[in-house]
Amino acid sequence: MKKILLSLVAVLCSLCAMADGYSINFTSSQGDWTINNVTLPEGITYVWTQSTSYGMKASAYANSTYYATESWLVSPAITLTKSADASAITLSFSQAGKYFGNAATDVTVWVSEDAQNWTQLTMSSVLDGSSWTFVETTCDLTSYAGKTVYIGFKYTSSETAAATWEIKTVAITGIDYGGEVTPEVDITNTPETAYTVTEAINLIEAGEGLSAKVYVKGTVSPDNLSISTSYGNATYYITDGTNTLEVFRGYYLQNEKFTSEDQLQDGDEVIVYGQLTDYNGTKEFTSGNYLYSLNGKTQDDTPQEEYTCTGDGTLANPYTTEDITKGVYVAGETITGVWVKGVILGNVNTSTGSSIATGDAVNTNLALGNADGTNIIPIQLPTKPAYVRADLNIVDNPDNVGKTVYVYGDVIKYCGAGGIKNTSDYSWDGSTTAIQSVSATAKAQVIYSIAGQRLSTPAKGISIINGQKVYTK
């Protein structure tokens, strides 16, 4: 009876597939599509790769170099038997891409009856390269009804431009597809049924169902454990005693960022949740995974010490940068109009907001913290009022690095961390502010002629400056 039911299910699935035409989702696997590298120069070993996030991805940019290539992604033979109720046969695919030299010629779609002689198809839309948003694109295949064809996605690049092209799904509608149908494999599981590392590697090698997120259990390996508190993620390996699996840029418990390098240790028993992939021969969890459990615990129950701010946000008693990070800033909230005191350490790393940037200085932000480089917060230097950026930025004022400064603005998320935006005033000494200095300067420039006419600069002879007669030769 069981065999009869399974046979019936297989028949029904086959009929559904025929009604739906041909389709493939490249986030699950490359399927039976092949890659033909017509031109592959020394310096790179591949153009097309399969990704569980983006599908089939082509790029010839590597090692900070553009390579001239021609590489094809070619379908298996597909017979275009037109459905009785179909008015057209349509190839559709979901594509995204950026960094084109000329998108109309860099990435093209072709059809062939022998996989040797190719005819270019007209795409309904050409990517403009402005975003990574996937665009549904179609080509008409009606004239090939009744024929067996191959579909080819052609990628070309030069030594001056090498785009990244992603194709997530491909479908042909309007046909009764009689090819072999392989139902999508469901590999999802639960924490209680977490795969071993060996089982996870077997799933990766099978290449089916990898678009799903799964739980894998293992022991943290003593090799190559790297925790970045700047980016809040960790790269490490887990093992089951037989095989090892890389966990690439994963997060902490409950998908929170790592905040300390001792939060994960060699020998810890973990369950990791995320997507599996084979990245250029490395079996791994893709970035964005996180720890479901650590030594049997699903949340960090380390007691959190209550923090008491040393300042109150006034100029006379400003917040410290530690006050901001530990006591004042609350994600999703804005606290307006406070003074913060700290040492200018350089520019802030805009990816993290809590570390110092490397490279050339910019005039748009500061990294403010303790003299020893701890408790860093990002400070925005807006265009208005102009004197804030003009006086504080380290491009025009490199000697500002190492100085203590008081800044006035709003506590809010900036560059991914709690910091100060809308900065509108500052003070070097904690008493005289920039606004007061500007006001005093403006007062010193009140100039009138002897006849009472307002002047921008003193005239020759006698002028009245701030109520005093001044003679100018």
pTM across the whole model: 0.43
pLDDT value of position 71 = 96
Q: Which of the four CATH numbers 2.30.110.10, 3.30.390.10, 1.10.260.40, 2.40.50.140 does domain 319-432 have?
A: 2.40.50.140
3-state helix, strand, coil in the chain (%, to 5): 15, 40, 45
* Mean pLDDT of all residues belonging to the chain: 87
pLDDT band for 292, please (50, 70, 90 cuts): very high
Q: What is the pLDDT of residue 17?
A: 39
Evaluate whether 35 touches 72 at the Cβ level (below 8 Å). Answer: yes
What's the average model confidence in pLDDT over 67-88?
92
CA dist., res. 30 & res. 21, Å (int):
18
The pLDDT of residue 300: 66
Strand partners, 52: none
| Weakest-pLDDT range from 101-110, 164-173, 457-466 | 457-466
Closest residue by Cα to residue 159 from 73, 64, 71: 64
- The string of pLDDT tens digits covering residues 188-215 is 999 999 999 999 999 999 888 888 899 9
- The residue type found at 25 is N
Rounded to an integer, the average pLDDT of 310-317 is 94
Answer yes or no: are the C-beta atoms of 368 and 405 closer than 8 Å: yes
Q: Is 150's pLDDT higher than 50?
A: yes
Is the pLDDT at 470 greater than 70? The verdict is no
Q: 44: which 2 tokens?
A: 């790179």
Highest averaged pLDDT of the listed ranges 87-96, 172-181, 431-440, 444-453: 87-96
Q: Is the pLDDT score of 309 beyond 90?
A: yes
191-294 and 319-432 share one fold: yes
Q: What is the pLDDT of residue 62?
A: 87
- For the chain, percent of residues with pLDDT exceeding 70: 88
Where are the chain's structural domains?
2-173, 191-294, 319-432, 435-473
Tell whether the model's pLDDT for residue 12 goes beyond 80.
no
Is 251:233 a contact under the CB 8 Å cutoff? Answer: yes
Is the pLDDT confidence value at 407 over 90?
yes
Q: What is the pLDDT of residues 29-61, one digit of tens each?
A: 898 999 999 999 888 889 999 988 889 999 999
The correct answer on CATH 2.60.120.200 for the domain covering 2-173 is yes
Say whether domain 191-294 belongs to CATH 2.60.40.1180. Answer: no
What is the predicted pLDDT for the residue at 267? 94
When pLDDT is averaged across residues 300-320 and rounded to a whole number, the result is 84
All residues at 6 or more sequence positions from 380 whose CB lies less than 8 Å from its CB, including other chains: 364, 365, 409, 414, 419, 420, 421, 422, 423
Report which listed range, 113-127, 202-216, 433-447, 452-466, is most confident.
113-127
Is the pLDDT higher at 464 or at 244? 244
Q: Which of 130-134, 170-174, 394-398, 439-443 has the lowest mean pLDDT?
A: 439-443
pLDDT at 52: 84
Instruction: Give the C-alpha separation, 40 to 1, whole Å.
Output: 54
Torsions phi, psi for 154 (to 5 deg): -105, 125
Q: Which residue reads 């109309």 in tokens?
A: 104
| Mean local confidence (pLDDT), 361-381 | 94
Per-residue pLDDT, averaged over 312-321, amounts to: 95
- pLDDT for the residue numbered 471: 61
Residue 448 pLDDT grade (very low, low, confident, very high; cuts 50, 70, 90) = low
pLDDT value of position 15? 36
Top-confidence residue, 473 or 233: 233
- Contact call for residues 361 and 346 (beta carbons, < 8 A): yes
Please report the pLDDT score of residue 363 as a whole number: 93
